[in-house]
Structure 1
Amino acid sequence: PNGYITAGHAILSEYREYERGVTAAVNASVQPVLDRYLTRLRLELLGKGFDRDILVMQGNGGTASSQFIALSAVNTVMSGPASGVMAAAYTGRASGHPNLITYDMGGTSTDVGLIENAVPTVSGELELEYAMPIHVPMVDVHTIGAGGGSIAAVDAAGMLRVGPESAGARPGPICYGRGGTEPTITDANLVLGRLNPDRLLGVDHPVTLDHVRGLIEQKVGKRLGLDAEAAAGAILRIANDRMAGAIRLVSLSRGHDPRDFALFAFGGAGPLHATALARELGIPTVLVPARPGITNALGCVVADLRHDYVRTVNKPLSAIDDATIAGVYAEQAAEGRKTIVKESVPVRELRRVLSADMQFQGQSHILSVGVENESIGVEGLHKAFAAAYWRRFGIELAEIPPVLVNLHTAVIGVRPEISLGVLAATERAPTLKAAQAGERRVWFSDGWHQTPIYIRDKLPLDAAFDGPAILEQLDCTTVVEPGDRVTLDKLGNLLISVRV
């Protein structure tokens, strides 16, 4: 016996018993581990003189006090990818780019999401392995197994595959010198001159470029009739194609044209591939933040407090009155305000985001409808649902009665703003030439180019230049394709105009 008890109705106050049961089971599994960790962390910080509470990132893109997270641990699922999207929204809003497709490529996976009008898309369902659904609000992020450590191999049919298998941190890519023997995306970038072998982090026992090149040719090239460089180029093309597919999934398949967005590239490997992906998808601008490798951590710093509430109604609209809708929203708002007051975290203001899950009678799927205020009433909900259904499916079903399934309220405590300019506060070179560290041969889609190498942190904020170029910094490398145009904004973000 212990004090960890999960009540399904307290975690998820909506119908569908299976989904509620799975969500409760996941919470019960994670809760003891997370609670012990947070308790230990609080005590250690207290011993060092830090007597404040800890804010924990949630999958919905907001933070919450550790005292509440310990009770609803399931809300931390996908919190890592969500924090990156929140940092992108914050950066995009500050830099004048409210519409973004986020592209976070790390060592083992790539996460993509969509931000419209500086607001990330939030979904109410995530499916885990073995088709287990979790029903909690979370930032809508699509993940594929394509990262710097993704392994490239030729299968039994003679087809080149890249990922989802990964070399991981141990042994890692061949070039890390930890005993890895399988070619990875990182190794391909190194062979093609996109990465500087002298600036790789975490290398235990340096290996020669010839060693990496030899293994790529042996494991991939010979089976495809290619030399090492051509095989490395093929690895990048396959990887880019998979990542472009993920971006199409969060944009085109949901009715959004990628050309109306900028591509926000971050993570340790994202800026290596961003301009090639943007060209493939017709995206005109790539935005690379000042510190791509720590963007997810930045998201934890800038995220607001957030608590989500849901109530199942599951009745035809004709059987509901305006007072019922307003009453549920009022109760949820009051509960959210009370919770944020208990957290004792300074906030600038409280905001509410209202929505309703609706469907036509007889349907199994639901559609989330944005609600402007709690006084929308039955007629207003009917009109909003019809408009949302038309936007999503291009059809009207006026003869079928609509059903109100759930009412949602997100109560957000807006925290004080921080200046992103501090991330770009480095000693800048007086001229572009002074920021150049040299040049080397680099492979691009149209062949090899003698390419200037710049130290990104030294670039003048008024710098403007054309690709090809390689921009190196401690936490990542940015590749600028031939013909692309690079400028910097006042926050130190790279703005790359892509030749599409």
Structure 2
Amino acid sequence: MSNPNIRVGVDIGGTFTDVALQHPGGLSTGKVLTNYSQPEQAILDGILKAAETAGIPLTDIGQVIHGTTLVTNALIERRGAKLAFITTEGFRDVVEMRSENRFEQYDLNLTLPTPLVARKDRFTMNERVAADGSVLLALDPTEVDAMVQTILDGGYEAVAVGFMHAYANPAHEQMVAEALRKAAPDLSISISSVISPQMREFERFNTVIANAYVQPQVADYLGRLVARLRDEGISAPVFMMHSGGGLISVETASAEPVRLLESGPAGGAIFAADFAMAHGIDKVLSFDMGGTTAKICLIEDGTPKTANTFEVARTYRFKKGSGMPVSTPVVEMVEIGAGGGSIASIDAMGRIQVGPRSAASEPGPACYQRGGEEPTVTDSNLTLGRLDAENFAGGAIPLSVDLAHGAISSRLGEKLGMDPSQAAFGVTEMVDENMANAARVHTVENGRDIEHFTMIAFGGGAPLHACRLCEKLGIEALIIPPGAGVGSAIGFLKAPFSYEASRGLFQRLDAFDAGTVNAALQELEAEARAFVSEGAGDAETTTRLTAHMRYSGQGWEIPVVLPYRSFTDSDHTALLAAFEEAYRTLFGRVIDDLAVEVTNWSLTVASVLPEVPKAGRHLTGLPLGGGKTREFFDAAQRQTVTAREVERSTMTPGVIVEGPAVVVENETSTIVTSAYSVIGQGDGSLLLLRKGAEQ
């Protein structure tokens, strides 16, 4: 019989599938290579591995929480359903015309990303709703019937419907959806007034198209996963991590898969936020580096920064504006193609470049001995002595130093006149500098000074690179939590059930209509609570309200968090004050005598989690005696050094080891450069402090 206290979190990444099993005796983890043809098989393999370690039968598992890159990968690789898009007459080409933004203004041969739906599959109807929801041109039922027949004749697997201003009045979209469902009950149908009921047709249309494009595939995958779990005796309910940092049911995820875009990285941000609260740190930079990508997120006062838009599948050197913008709640982070499997190459100017291409798990880095021939970051770390060839992934994946040397030498070293160690150092320095630049830009864009932050690093690759990254960024303190190698999977177990409902409702503050706003917020709260109750039942919840506001004439708004209550018409002054405070934080000033307007409202209902226990924090300690040594290349000294090698289990609270050192465990290794010391903490974390820094 299943036990509700036994929960398992599963994160499918581009290279590894991570499993974290929480049980009364503690936490057991597993890490297996991702199976691209049958991802559910890797999940079962990982769960079985963790359950065997814990000595727990699979039938005892009471809850499964899953995060996946399936949606992101399907959009990037254009592996989705045969899709039709229905929109308002005259707006057929919105998704192709995009916005006026030219993401690379000096490239005369600039090519815009190709829409998910070809023009021949985009259809229009004679209807029009105004921005205030009034019907300017009613939809003719005869035209609806003709459109249904067109869709049936086209053999489409999915349909997206996006009419102008449907967020203000969804009646026309609902009419088309009902007619399609009546004629073809098995057809996948997504309407923008449900998937993204917000202003801006380009983003709204993109979002509903993306949802419809992946919906059949995601629904099929989740159905197979649940069935396989049942076959193995796991009858527990399955929940999904959504990109906003909470849990939703499998049914909701199947209907709105666009909410899963960043589900894995969101779990990592929750994981880091939990440790930020445990250590009483209010300014944290989370650094998640896996086998394929690296993700950086700002966490302040224990809460990851969130946004209501996200750009997926950037096509031009990861430049902002070159991808597909979607309007969905998301933990805001910067993501670059810099993971352990990222491939190193030489560009036309003779420079080492790393990523965004990845060797992933098939065939993997050269040192994996699975057929990979191109040099990767993992090959470079092995060459530099930062990885133990015999104990990688707890010994489950033996590494070949010779194959790593061969790949680096043939593809990089010989062309640059360098020996393998020099070329490997060039690879790691390049990837570290790329990540440092991304972190600098991310913090500056949010009006923050990065040197005032503490880094929390996790993922299989982050502990190898985090110390060097802190050196480059001027960060003096770094935390490596226990279970860092499977951090996102553990984060799933710490996430609340939550749902964010949003609504486009344009108003200027000088004409603030409290009655209209209150009515809309009540509807949003009812919608959000209905979804949260699917998993949390009658559990205590919290409600967070965000107004998206801007100065009149500006192109984009900023999120302004407000207390959730019933508004009155006189509250426009309080809203203005809150907006100016948020605007000043971001831009350092406000603009006098310019009207302010609200474009969208977002309301999040989340279950209340137990209070995070405070960690016993140690800033000084007693040196650890004994132990063995090994050599690795220390980037701080630009030379190979003899370093202490210590088992993580020996880093008990208050124990200190001076760098250079390597702290080893099954899922990863932590490199401590000569500029830092490492101290064991009360909660099992490692605290790395810059030598001589005041704390």
Equivalence for 1:63: 247
- Give the CA deviation at 1:243: 0.8
Structure 1: distance between partners of 2:530 and 2:573 = 30
Q: Contact 2:497–2:535 at 8 Å: present in 1 too? A: no
Alignment of 1:37-436 (within 5 A): 37-46=221-230, 51-129=235-313, 131-201=323-393, 207=400, 209-345=401-537, 347=539, 349-375=540-566, 377-416=571-610, 432-433=624-625, 436=627
Q: Contact 2:390–2:399 at 8 Å: present in 1 too? A: no
Structure 2: distance between partners of 1:433 and 1:490 = 19
- The higher relative CO (CA closer than 8 Å, separation ≥ 6) is in 1
- Give the CA deviation at 1:477: 0.7
- State the AA in 2 paired with 1:160: I
- How many pairs are equivalent? 488
Q: Contact 2:278–2:613 at 8 Å: present in 1 too? A: no
Q: 1:304 to 1:32 in 2, by over 3 A?
A: same
Structure 1: distance between partners of 2:328 and 2:244 = 8
Q: Contact 2:623–2:657 at 8 Å: present in 1 too? A: no
Q: 1:213 to 1:203 in 2, by over 3 A?
A: farther
Q: 1:194 to 1:47 in 2, by over 3 A?
A: closer
- State the AA in 2 paired with 1:124: N
| 144-153 or 386-395, which deviates more | 386-395
3-state SS, counterpart of residue 482 of structure 1: coil
- Give the CA deviation at 1:111: 0.9
- Give the CA deviation at 1:418: 7.9
Equivalence for 1:440: 630
Q: 1:219 to 1:3 in 2, by over 3 A?
A: closer
1:473 aligned to 2:657?
Answer: no
Q: Contact 1:305–1:415 at 8 Å: present in 2 too? A: no
Q: TM-score, normalised by structure 1?
A: 0.91
3-state SS, counterpart of residue 188 of structure 2: coil
- Give the CA deviation at 1:442: 1.3
- State the AA in 2 paired with 1:89: A
Structure 1: distance between partners of 2:511 and 2:402 = 74
Q: TM-score, normalised by structure 2?
A: 0.67
The runs of 5 or more residues in structure 1 that have no matched partner are 422-429
Structure 1: distance between partners of 2:378 and 2:328 = 35
Q: 1:107 to 1:49 in 2, by over 3 A?
A: closer
Over the matched positions of the two proteins, sequence identity in percent amounts to 32
Q: Could you give the per-residue CA deviations for residues 3-55 of structure 1, whole angstroms, max 9, x where no partner exists? A: 53212101111122222121111111222222233334334445566555322
- Give the CA deviation at 1:363: 1.7
3-state SS, counterpart of residue 631 of structure 2: strand
Q: Could you give the per-residue CA deviations for residues 445-475 of structure 1, whole angstroms, max 9, x where no partner exists? A: 2122111111112332331121110011100
- State the AA in 1 paired with 2:195: I
Structure 2: distance between partners of 1:204 and 1:284 = 34
- State the AA in 1 paired with 2:565: E
Structure 1: distance between partners of 2:403 and 2:254 = 49
Q: 1:160 to 1:342 in 2, by over 3 A?
A: closer
Structure 1: distance between partners of 2:670 and 2:360 = 22
- Give the CA deviation at 1:228: 2.0
- Give the CA deviation at 1:264: 0.9
* Pairwise CA RMSD: 2.4
- Give the CA deviation at 1:305: 0.8
Q: 1:280 to 1:420 in 2, by over 3 A?
A: same
